């Protein structure tokens, strides 16, 4: 049996490149104006999974939880070399904190079944919490290794990895199944393969497939049955070509609705303040709060901060 690998990936707003267009007049960030990207360290996790695949006969499935447009990162993963993608999406997931998210992802991983290794980026750039990895591992009741920098080798039931935790660097051999979080220093993610891009740009989630059929269908409202049949045909055809992304809802993964989304999230956001730093030649700043505030506003506007 080939090793089954799952990479957990997240589509995130590109917070590291907050452009002037994305700043509102009041100094806050307009999230909608930021491009949605593949979370950078999740790409390092995917690269490590693909390295393992290159050396063994492992299969790599990328799983993401998010809105329907997160399908874009599944396609990108396919261009790089992943074997399959799964989208977990449901409006009931809205407002999920890391506990509710890890509960949901763990259910998705259980649904896949027999997974030997789960890889994720150390953290996502929109939240920077680094909590999903350890919490998914805990929910699955398996061991975790965070801050992994190098894959050494893998055997049937064990794996050897290098990691640095603070001031201690270790080469660790440990049992599978295991969850690891991968840092940006681990590797350089590969670029898209041209042939893979041509093929997998046609890959679709169930939601996308359905939308496309509805858009092109001429059957109208009297042909509901015909329409549903067309959708099924479309999905079947995508599946046969390996171009279908499994698309799971909360019920598909068997989620307890009390443990997902807002109800399943112990943490609440009480208040959000924009960092209004108060704004070259040498500019004299008065040593008082007003002066400093103005200087900070300028530094935000010219993108020195953020």
Partner 1 sequence: MAKQPENVLVFIEMEHGKVAEVSLELVCQARELADTLHVNVDTIVLSGMNVDICSQTIISYGCDTVYTVCDGRLEFYETLPYARIVSDFVRESKPQIVLFGATAIGRDIAPRVASDLRTGLTADCTDLKIGDHEDKKQKKVFKNILYQIRPAFGGNIIATIITPEHKPQMATVREGVIKLSAQEKKRKGTIKPFGNINWDAIPFINTVLERTIHEKKVNLKGASIVVAGGGGVASKEDFDLIKQLAATLGGVVGASRAAVDNGYIGKEHQVGQTGTTIRPKLYIACGISGAIQHRAGMDQSGKIIAINNDPEAPIFNVAHYGIVGDLHKVIPMMIKAYKGKS
Chain positions 66 to 105 lying near partner 1, rule: CB under 8 A, are: 97-99, 102
- By CB under 8 A, name the one of 53, 92, 139, 234 that touches partner 1: 139
Residue with tokens 């290098």: 162
Contact call for residue 287 and partner 1 (CB under 8 A): yes
Signed CA dihedral, 288, 294, 297, 299: sign only: negative
Query: What element of type H or E holds 207?
Result: helix 206-216
Contact call for residue 243 and partner 1 (CB under 8 A): no
Nearer to partner 1, 147 or 244 (CB): 147
Q: How far apart are CA 211 and CA 227, in angstroms?
A: 11
Rounded least distance, CB 261 to partner 1, Å:
14
Contact call for residue 11 and partner 1 (CB under 8 A): no
Contact call for residue 167 and partner 1 (CB under 8 A): yes
Q: Find the radius of gyration of the CA atoms of the chain.
A: 22
Q: 3-state class of 94 per DSSP? A: coil
Contact call for residue 170 and partner 1 (CB under 8 A): yes
From 110-118, 173-181, 186-194, 232-240, give the range in contact with partner 1 by CB under 8 A.
173-181
- By CB under 8 A, name the one of 94, 198, 228, 276 that touches partner 1: 276
Nearer to partner 1, 175 or 198 (CB): 175
With CA atoms as reference, report the closest residue to 83 among 206, 244, 249.
Answer: 244
Contact call for residue 40 and partner 1 (CB under 8 A): no
Rounded least distance, CB 61 to partner 1, Å:
23
Rounded least distance, CB 30 to partner 1, Å:
10
Measured at the alpha carbon of residue 57, what is the angle toward residues 54 and 60, in degrees to the nearest 5? 75
Contact call for residue 184 and partner 1 (CB under 8 A): no
- By CB under 8 A, name the one of 89, 146, 187, 247 that touches partner 1: 146
* Angle at which helices 132-140 and 98-112 cross, to 10°: 50
CB 103 within 8 A of CB 261: no
Nearer to partner 1, 165 or 198 (CB): 165
Q: How far apart are CA 144 and CA 180, in angstroms?
A: 6
Q: How far apart are CA 166 and CA 43, in angstroms?
A: 22
Contact call for residue 195 and partner 1 (CB under 8 A): no
Rounded least distance, CB 230 to partner 1, Å:
42
Q: How many angstroms from the chain centroid is the CA of residue 28?
A: 24
Rounded least distance, CB 52 to partner 1, Å:
18
Q: How far apart are CA 16 and CA 5, in angstroms?
A: 29
Contact call for residue 134 and partner 1 (CB under 8 A): yes
């Amino acid at each position: 049996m080939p090793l089954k690998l799952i990479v957990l990936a997240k589509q995130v707003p590109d917070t590291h490149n907050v452009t002037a267009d994305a700043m509102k007049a009041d100094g806050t960030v307009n999230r909608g104006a930021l491009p949605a990207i593949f979370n950078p360290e999740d790409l390092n996790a995917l690269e490590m999974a693909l390295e393992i695949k290159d050396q063994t006969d492992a299969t790599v499935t990328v799983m993401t939880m998010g809105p329907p447009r997160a399908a874009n990162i599944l396609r990108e993963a396919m261009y790089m070399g992943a074997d399959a993608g799964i989208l977990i999406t449901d409006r009931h997931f809205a407002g999920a904190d890391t506990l509710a998210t890890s509960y949901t992802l763990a259910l998705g991983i259980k649904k896949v079944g027999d997974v030997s290794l789960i890889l994720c980026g150390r953290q996502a750039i929109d939240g920077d919490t680094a909590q999903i990895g350890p919490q998914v591992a805990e929910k699955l009741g398996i061991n975790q290794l965070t801050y992994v920098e190098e894959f050494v080798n893998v055997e049937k039931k064990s794996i050897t990895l290098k990691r640095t935790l603070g001031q201690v660097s270790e080469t660790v051999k440990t049992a599978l199944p295991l969850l690891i979080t991968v840092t940006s220093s681990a590797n350089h993610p590969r670029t898209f393969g041209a042939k893979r891009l041509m093929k997998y740009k046609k890959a679709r989630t169930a939601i996308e497939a359905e939308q496309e059929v509805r858009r092109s269908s001429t059957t109208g409202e009297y042909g509901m049955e015909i329409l549903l049949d067309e959708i099924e045909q479309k999905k079947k055809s995508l599946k046969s070509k390996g171009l279908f992304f499994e698309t799971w809802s909360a019920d598909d993964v068997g989620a307890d609705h009390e443990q997902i989304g807002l109800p399943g999230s112990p943490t609440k956001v009480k208040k959000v303040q924009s960092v209004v730093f108060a704004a070259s030649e040498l500019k004299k700043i008065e040593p008082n709060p007003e002066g400093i505030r103005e200087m900070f506003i300028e530094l935000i506007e010219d993108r020195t901060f953020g």
